[in-house]
Amino acid sequence: MTREAFFRVVPVFACLAAVLCSGCGTCRVNVACRAVVEKEEAGRGVQVVVKAADTRPDPVVGQRDPGMKMLGTVEVDPSVVQTLQTAVSRGLSDKGFVPSPASPAVVRTLTVELTRLAYTGTPRMGGLTAEARVVILARADNNGETLEKTYDATTQWKLSGSNVEPDFDRLLGQTFSKAVSKMVGDYDLLNFLVKTVLRTRDLN
């Protein structure tokens, strides 16, 4: 199966979000995520500490119904941080790295920040056009040498009917997975984490 084909079906089993809301007000969703990468030994068994954070300035993802703002907003459950950390760790494992707890013996750290997770919708006849965007900031530290990169992904769907909230959830999950997959599949980042960096130390 090609990567493009996978992303068409992944919302069904890997990126399905559970909606926990009723009536008007705020709707909280749990968005799942999975890194889709080719398995290989690029990491050479190197240990890496993986940290995750949600640094979005606003917890609101979007309007529950862009055509009727009175219905309230959508927010993502705080568990999205653990979801991100787990997806990155599993993706690195697929690439041959060994995600490990922090310790003096582990000199490589990858910190990933969710800086944006949002969707917008444009009402149209019989439905709407929805677009989701995810932005992730990655900071790698290899024994004191650092690398910072940003990964983003967008997805646009045309939705029909009035009950489109479940479609929004799958749309967000699919886009989240795309961004994480870009990061875990970035050989600039992977090679930076693999290389040996020797610190200069004062022997006096």
Find the CATH number of the domain harbouring 73.
3.40.50.10610
Q: What is the pLDDT of residue 25?
A: 73
pLDDT band at residue 62 using 50, 70 and 90 as cut-offs:
confident
Highest mean pLDDT among 67-76, 85-94, 191-200: 85-94
Q: Answer for the pair 43, 194: CB distance below 8 angstroms, yes or no.
A: yes
Domain of 150, in residue numbers:
3-194
> Is 17 a domain residue?
yes
Q: Does residue 111 sit within a domain?
A: yes
Q: Does residue 203 sit within a domain?
A: no
Residue 141 lies in a domain: yes
- What is the structure's pLDDT at 191? 98
Residue 12 lies in a domain: yes
204 lies in a domain?
Answer: no
Specify the number of domains making up the chain: 1
- The predicted pLDDT at position 189 comes to 98
Residue 160 counted as domain residue: yes
pTM of the model: 0.83
- Residue 173: which of 83, 113, 55, 50 has the closest Cα? 83
